[in-house]
Amino acid sequence: MIVFPEGTTFDGDTVRPFQAGAFIAALRTQAPIVPVGIAHATGSGAAFVGEPFTRHLARIAGGGATRVVVRVGDAVAPGEHAGAASVSKVARQAVQRLVDEARREVDAP
């Protein structure tokens, strides 16, 4: 299952605070959490902000190729954390590192 724990979309690389719900479910089931960072080329227009999803999808599908870099981190074991807030913080920090890595690569000459 994939979850976007920020619960919103925005333009930029700052990972926003995570919502607790997905982490509560992971804690209850002891499902590992795999952090992923994604960055698309600066100026690509790929950000999904301020438009209906169907318009965004049509715009992206009708455009040219967009360079994207995806970084996958090591799994976080929920059982190693005191609760949803703790595992959420660790996961958010991991995602931010991965987004930063992806950004450096996608915009490299």
Render pLDDT for 66-106 as a digit per residue (tens, 0 to 9).
899 999 999 998 878 778 888 889 999 999 999 999 999 99
List 68's β-bridge partners, or say none. Answer: 40
| pTM for the whole structure | 0.87
Residue found by looking up tokens 């660790």 in the block: 90
pLDDT digit string (tens) for 45-56?
888 888 898 998
CA atoms of 35 and 73, how far apart (whole Å):
5
Question: Nearest-CA neighbor of 34 among 85, 70, 61, 59?
Answer: 70
Q: What is the residue-averaged pLDDT of the chain? A: 89
